[in-house]
């Protein structure tokens, strides 16, 4: 149970809320206890102070907490600039009542706040008490992990288990000196991260695509990996042939990079590495494994389920919605672009699947896993 932290007067001011709900705010401050409380409450990488600090200025950030019967129920860190409240917490589940409570409190306390922006949150679409916009933004694919890795493997489909077995046998027969090695925290070196990122770049270049792992993103990964990272690599004679980088928050793991040497495509090495990484997380006591965004078949093969994440805007008044029409238009346009991109992606995926099934029916190719 999360107990109420000490409230430094006069900055923490209870709201006039009746009943067992108490609301507090620390304007211009992120108290030292916030990160631990965020991790316990949400268990999510994208709702941690460490993640916030990578790309946001926290010196002027505000912290909001709501308690129900003395237990922490909602904890949000946010900024207020030019009338816009931007909530930093992402990839979390929120109840509409909790969002309404925060909006009422924020609009009541910060008189210059005109619009609240929540990004990448899972919240029901409802009749909001304020003028609003709510659009699909991302999705988080995740799987609840059992207590035993063998039980997890047994729960996979017959086809997935067969592919894993065949690929592992083929790989071990051709590369008897291969190993899967796990590194955690301080044991993760920048050289190790660079090796996996280089594999990603090589694979993207082969597909004539631009990798999202630029220098800035790679530096962010290295910084996070040193404190909460888990890296699993498949090596042959010490050379990294495939690797997965994930981050751990509590008992939950978040996959950031999965890559393999394109020279080993026929072994499905990325697929094998991902399975071994998930099993390693289970053996370490993991409860959830998050594949995060991107609709790829291998995630479903590993029992991943999609959780839709929205961008939600709440305006103080209808006039404010007109006043911030440019912001609203950009949010709407981003949602339309995403839908068009997903439609094109799904169309191509279905076309490729139909081609493979036709070839399989003629016995021209062997069925293999997608990675």
pLDDT tens string, the chain, 371 residues long: the values are 444 455 443 333 444 444 478 999 999 999 999 999 999 999 999 999 999 998 898 999 999 999 998 899 999 999 999 999 999 999 999 999 999 999 999 999 999 999 999 999 999 999 999 999 999 999 999 999 999 999 999 999 999 999 999 999 999 888 888 899 999 988 999 999 999 999 999 888 887 888 888 899 999 999 999 889 999 999 988 899 999 999 999 999 999 999 999 888 888 999 999 999 999 999 999 999 999 988 888 899 999 999 999 999 999 999 999 999 999 888 888 878 878 877 776 666 655 556 655 655 565 443 333 33
Give residue 350's pLDDT.
59
Pairing between β-strand 84-87 and β-strand 115-122 as defined by DSSP bridges: parallel
Q: Within 13 Å and on the Cβ side, how many CA atoms surround 267?
A: 21
Q: How far apart are the first and last CA of the chain?
A: 42
pLDDT at 365: 40
DSSP 8-state assignment for residue 113: -
**Dihedral angle over CA of 181, 182, 186, 187, nearest 10:** -10
Is CATH 3.40.630.30 correct for 146-286?
A: yes
Per-residue buried b or exposed e for 161-184, using 16+ beta carbons within 10 Å of the residue's own CB: eebbebbbeebeeebeebebebbe
Q: How far is CA 363 from the centre of its chain?
A: 39
As annotated, the residues of the chain forming the CATH 3.40.630.30 domain(s) are 146-286
Six-digit token pair at 28? 């211009």
| Spatial distance between the Cα atoms of 259 and 273, rounded to a whole number of angstroms | 9
Q: What pTM was computed for the model? A: 0.82
What's the topology of domain 21-138+307-343?
A: Aminopeptidase (3.40.630)
């Amino acid at each position: 149970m999360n107990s109420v932290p000490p409230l430094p007067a006069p900055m923490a001011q209870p709201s006039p809320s009746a009943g067992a709900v108490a609301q507090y705010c620390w304007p211009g401050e992120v108290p030292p206890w916030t990160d631990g409380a965020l991790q316990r409450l949400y268990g999510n990488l994208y709702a941690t102070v460490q993640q916030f600090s990578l790309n946001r200025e926290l010196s002027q950030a505000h912290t909001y907490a709501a308690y129900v019967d003395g237990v922490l129920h909602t904890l949000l860190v946010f900024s207020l600039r030019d009338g816009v409240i931007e909530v930093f917490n992402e990839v979390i589940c929120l109840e509409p009542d909790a969002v309404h409570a925060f909006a009422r409190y924020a609009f009541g306390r910060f008189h210059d706040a005109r619009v609240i922006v929540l990004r990448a949150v899972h919240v029901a679409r409802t009749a909001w008490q304020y003028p609003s916009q709510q659009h699909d933004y991302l999705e988080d694919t995740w799987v609840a992990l059992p207590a035993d890795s063998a039980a997890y493997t047994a729960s996979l489909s017959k086809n997935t288990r067969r592919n894993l077995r065949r690929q592992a046998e083929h790989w071990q027969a051709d590369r008897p000196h291969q190993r899967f090695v796990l590194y955690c925290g301080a044991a993760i070196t920048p050289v190790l991260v660079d090796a996996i990122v280089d594999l990603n770049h090589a694979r993207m270049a082969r597909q004539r695509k631009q990798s999202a792992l630029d220098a800035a993103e790679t530096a962010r990964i290295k910084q996070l990996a040193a404190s909460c990272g888990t890296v699993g690599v498949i090596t042959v004679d010490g050379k990294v042939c495939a690797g997965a980088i994930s981050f751990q928050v509590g008992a939950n793991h978040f996959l950031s990079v999965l890559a393999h040497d394109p020279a080993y495509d026929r072994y499905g090495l990325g697929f094998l590495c991902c399975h071994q990484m998930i099993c390693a997380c289970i053996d370490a006591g993991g409860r959830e494994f998050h594949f995060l965004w991107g609709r790829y078949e291998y995630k479903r093969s590993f029992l991943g389920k999609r959780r839709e994440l929205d961008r939600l805007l709440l305006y103080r008044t209808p006039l404010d919605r007109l006043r911030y029409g440019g912001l609203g238009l950009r949010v709407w346009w981003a949602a339309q672009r995403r839908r068009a991109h997903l439609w094109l992606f799904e169309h191509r995926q279905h076309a490729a699947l139909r081609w493979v099934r036709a070839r399989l029916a003629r016995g021209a190719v062997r069925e293999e896993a997608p990675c």
